[in-house]
Amino acid sequence: MRSPGFRRTCRQPLAGRDAGTPTSARQWRSTSIAALASALALTAVSACGSGDDAAQDGKTHITVNCEPPKSAKVDRSFFEQDLASFARQHPDIGVDAHDAFPCQDPKTFDAKLAGGQMEDVFYTYFTDVKHVVDINQAADLTPYVQDLKSYPTLQKQLRDIYTVDGKVYGIPRTGYSMGLIYNRKLFSKAGLDPDRPPTTWGEVRADAKKIAALGGGTVGYADYSAQNQGGWHFTAEVYSRGGAVVSPDGSKATVNTPEGRAVLQTLKDMRWKDDSMGSKQLLVINDVQLMMGSGKLGMYLAAPDNIPILVKEKGGNYKDLSLAPMPGGKGTLLGGDGYMFNKHDTPAQIRAGLKWLDHMFLTPGKGFLGDYARAKQHDAPVGLPEPRLFTGAADARDQQVKKANANVPVDNYQGFLTGTQKLELKIEPPQAQQIYSVLDGAVSAVLTKKDADIDQLLKDASGKIDGILARG
């Protein structure tokens, strides 16, 4: 999509990465990156030549990525509507939006940065920030954020993710945290109060046992244990108990701890002593969503964006689904995304990009993510508790507009909305996918082997994670 008056630039669209995956996984050889970067750099030179000026026609031109693909018709139309309104309000700025899904491809991300092919304003996951700064590919936005009207209204913990050594290198766009999705109908059937979900892991275990006792193939609690997803959930569960997967400086594993041991012991006890997790294991997200959507599962961990998937794709019903804060009361896993700026951007391009972000994503009740009335007209779910980006008066305004246009049962998520604010929110560890792969083995072992040795599993996992961190 080109805004009116757009002049073609030399940068080409990028392929992206699935926003649903836990984090980016950089598992390629540095020589391959270098070769690809060199090839891209040559392409950039031949395609652009010299003298390419971002403002030859009197406009400041920027390229941006993560426009929804044409196959996502509704999201694409929303994005184009917002681009057009931005062009009307800012005739001095030309925006070239590149579409891709997923929005960021970990196989080419570094190479495109190094090869000069990255857009002026580019999409990143929270876990990308420090790496992009470390390889010196991000513009320092600190002198310019005062021009971003919405910046002070954004949640500080999200702003801090894009702040490295006191300098601002990006702007958050969304933030999601993990909680406990549960089936209200099964809670009632098992004699549990659906308005009082479990708040501790002991209560999760007790409630799961009662739900599983309903019989008929009903499972009380399910968890992932394959394709790195078991390690992902292990991390969230350790956070919920106040633990961590790696040390604060990212140099050592911290899984062989009382918190890590408690995670595996609880899963093992629920599986083998209580028989509340069912006999089928090595589950991944789709398996668990199908169980919940069919009404055969009591509880599982997920972010709010799972709820419309359960309804629209897996046969669930909004009125039967509630979301509670993460059990344990000490922390939860935070994920999300935002935009960073190319280190080659001019000051004018940075200012233009910040105005674009303000217009598209960062105005309460408006824009691509916040125009709830428009979303409701297209039968998109309105009223989910996240993403929750703002704070103070801006948050109150956003919540007010959301509630006025809600088409899902917002009361079912109120506990999550208030309870999550009391938890420590932590992002994923460095080298997350490789670490998750290691932890998958520990989680799958306790769910498939009655005699699994938890102490040995954690000791082995700790050594392997230390090796991953040492390699960088």
Kindly report, residue by residue over 130-142, the tens digit of the pLDDT. 999 999 999 999 9
**Strand partners for 96:** 2, 63
Question: Do the domain assignments include residue 419?
Answer: no
Judge if 188 and 140 occupy the same domain.
no
Judged by average pLDDT, the poorest of 40-49, 165-174, 193-202, 291-300 is: 40-49
Judge if 187 and 316 occupy the same domain.
yes
How far apart are alpha carbons 303 and 21 in whole angstroms? 12
108 versus 328: the higher-pLDDT residue is 328
Question: Do the domain assignments include residue 54?
Answer: yes
CB within 8 A of 215, min separation 6: which ones? Answer: none
Question: Do the domain assignments include residue 381?
Answer: no
Question: Do the domain assignments include residue 388?
Answer: no
Judge if 42 and 140 occupy the same domain.
yes
Do the beta carbons of residue 419 and residue 325 sit within 8 Å?
yes
E-strand stretches of 53-199: 60-67, 93-99, 121-125, 163-164, 167-168, 170-177, 179-183
CB atoms within 10 A of CB 258: 11
Question: Do the domain assignments include residue 127?
Answer: yes
Look up tokens 């059937």; give the residue: 189
The predicted-structure confidence for 308-333, as pLDDT tens digits, reads as follows 999 999 999 999 999 999 999 999 99
How far apart are alpha carbons 259 and 263 in whole angstroms? 6
Q: Across the beta sheet with 219-221, what order do the strands follow? A: 219-221, 297-302, 179-183, 321-324
How far apart are alpha carbons 130 and 138 in whole angstroms? 10
Q: What CATH code is carried by the domain that includes residue 167?
A: 3.40.190.10
Please tell me whether the peptide bond between 102 and the residue prior to it is cis, using omega within 30 degrees of 0.
Answer: yes
Question: Do the domain assignments include residue 4?
Answer: no
Look up tokens 């920027």; give the residue: 62
Judge if 114 and 203 occupy the same domain.
no
The predicted-structure confidence for 185-229, as pLDDT tens digits, reads as follows 999 999 999 999 999 999 999 999 999 999 999 999 999 999 999
Judge if 237 and 273 occupy the same domain.
yes
Residue 45 reports pLDDT greater than 50: no
Judge if 330 and 364 occupy the same domain.
no
Q: Cα 404 vs. chain centroid, distance in angstroms? A: 26
Range of the domain at 320: 179-334+426-471
How far apart are alpha carbons 160 and 184 in whole angstroms? 36
Look up tokens 């002049």; give the residue: 7
Strand pairing category for 424-426 and 321-324:
unpaired
Question: Do the domain assignments include residue 5?
Answer: no
Structure confidence at residue 187 (pLDDT): 98
Do the beta carbons of residue 181 and residue 300 sit within 8 Å?
yes
Residue 19 reports pLDDT greater than 80: no
Judge if 253 and 112 occupy the same domain.
no
Judge if 54 and 170 occupy the same domain.
yes
Judge if 185 and 298 occupy the same domain.
yes
Q: What is the pTM of this model?
A: 0.83
How far apart are alpha carbons 326 and 177 in whole angstroms? 9
Judge if 199 and 280 occupy the same domain.
yes
Q: Name the domain count of the chain.
A: 2
Residue 103 reports pLDDT greater than 90: no
Judge if 362 and 293 occupy the same domain.
no
Judge if 201 and 293 occupy the same domain.
yes
Share of the chain above pLDDT 70, in %: 88
Q: Which among 133, 113, 93, 106 is positioned nearest to 5, based on CA atoms?
A: 93
Q: What is the mean pLDDT of the chain?
A: 88
Structure confidence at residue 414 (pLDDT): 94
Q: Look up residue 3 and give its amino acid.
A: S
Please tell me whether the peptide bond between 308 and the residue prior to it is cis, using omega within 30 degrees of 0.
Answer: no
Question: Do the domain assignments include residue 118?
Answer: yes
Structure confidence at residue 10 (pLDDT): 29
Residue 35 reports pLDDT greater than 50: no
